[in-house]
Amino acid sequence: MTTLSDRPHTALLVIDVQNGVVANAHDRDGVIANINVLLDRARAEEVPVIWVQHADAQLVRGSDSWQYVPELVQRDGEPLVHKNYGDSFEGTDLEALLAERGVGRVVVTGASTDACIRSTLHGAFVRGYDVTLVADAHTTDDLSAYGAPPPAQVIAHTNLYWKWQSAPGRSAGTVDTADVVFAPSKVG
């Protein structure tokens, strides 16, 4: 269904599950456990796994807070995309990595829901990808002190609106970990 021709494959994106990003995140351990389930399934089905790692003034490259959480292990051959913007495509080689692998659909997991996850969802969709958000495999911090809704509501709202996203020739959707299908012709 993707508008990207000759790209029938799906990839799993693991975005910014770094020590400094998820230290106080909502349901941190549950989200990481779900990402591990998806990693195992993707690897067993030979689905490309692509890791994304953010750096900025608070996440200094090489620092402990910049490192991926120890519960998630990148395997040899699984590319790591370094980014400095919310959208994982912006100023990175993500598009080239996906093109090399014939990927026209991405399954999105990680952090933070209201920043890098949302930016990447929209970035992929406007670039022609089919985009599935894993409803129980993304998280965010509590920013209610700054006027944001509580994290559970931020996550629920993102899941709700992404479930109904649409555009010509592309599909979007939101599914739980247990319902993810990596086959390119499925939404979930």
Query: Per residue of the chain (188 residues), what is the pLDDT tens digit?
Result: 688 989 999 999 999 999 999 999 999 999 999 999 999 999 999 999 999 999 999 999 999 999 999 999 999 999 999 999 999 999 999 999 999 999 999 999 999 999 999 999 999 999 999 999 999 999 999 999 999 999 999 999 999 999 999 999 999 999 999 999 997 533 34
Task: Please give the pLDDT value at position 184.
Answer: 53
Residues in the chain: 188
The partner residues of 109 in beta bridges, in order of sequence, read 14
Stated pTM of the model:
0.96
Label residue 6 exposed, middle or buried (CB < 10 Å: 0-12, 13-18, 19+).
Answer: exposed
- Which contacts (CB < 8 Å, 24+ apart) does range 66-69 have? 66/18, 66/19, 66/20, 67/18, 67/19, 68/17, 68/18, 68/19, 69/17, 69/18, 69/19, 69/22, 69/32
